[in-house]
Amino acid sequence: MEYTYIVVKPNADERAERIIEELPCKVEKVALHVSLPREFWESFYVVHRGKSFYEELLDFMSSGNTSHFIGYGDGVIKKVRKAIGATDPSKAEPGTIRAKYGRSITENAIHASDSPSSAHFELSVGLTGLLQYGYIDLKRFMELKERFLGGEEVKHA
């Protein structure tokens, strides 16, 4: 089953439940309003390591709470990417989540996976981190791992 890892970012976290209802997919709530340290975001965003905006992105993501969800269903990755809009909220189509709730390219309200391989990596790192920092228990971790990752090996943060 196709899935996407969704994070409501600190600038929009207070409205996470409302924002998630605007997405065109079924959603599994994983963790609401949780604070994760910079080290977690270093792993989550490792693909951007070395880029000019990396440090600012890590500072921002660890500056407040975030909410974590798994969207699932046919074609969910593309559908959700369309609904959240362009990375830069000032360029996002009117009505998209980033156009409505984003403040800047860093504070752009929401993250959603851009490919099946990113979704797999982000779900693995996300679940592992949420377990490590005590926001989900081992039973829930195993249940979500089984349901979305099947027998696949989980990447460690």
Binding residues for ligand GDP, per CB under 6 A? Answer: 48, 53, 56-57, 87, 105-106, 108, 111, 114
The 10 Å Cβ neighbour count of residue 50 is 7
Q: How far apart are CB 138 and ligand GDP at their closest, in Å?
A: 30
Q: Which of 48, 111, 120, 156 is catalytic?
A: 111
- Report the residue number, 92 or 130, with the smaller CB distance to ligand GDP: 92
Q: How far apart are CB 114 and ligand GDP at their closest, in Å?
A: 5
3-state secondary structure the chain: CCEEEEEECCCCHHHHHHHHHCCCCEEEEEEEEECCCHHHHHHHCHHHCCCCCHHHHHHHHCCCCEEEEEEECCCHHHHHHHHHCCCCHHHCCCCCHHHHHCCCCCCCCEEECCCHHHHHHHHHHHHHHHHHCCCCCHHHHHHHHHHHHCCCCCCCC
* Known catalytic residue at 111: yes
Q: How far apart are CB 108 and ligand GDP at their closest, in Å?
A: 5
- Report the residue number, 48 or 147, with the smaller CB distance to ligand GDP: 48
Q: How far apart are CB 137 and ligand GDP at their closest, in Å?
A: 29
- Report the residue number, 54 or 133, with the smaller CB distance to ligand GDP: 54
- Report the residue number, 92 or 136, with the smaller CB distance to ligand GDP: 92
- Token pair 């890892």: residue: 5
Q: Which residues are part of the catalytic machinery?
A: 111
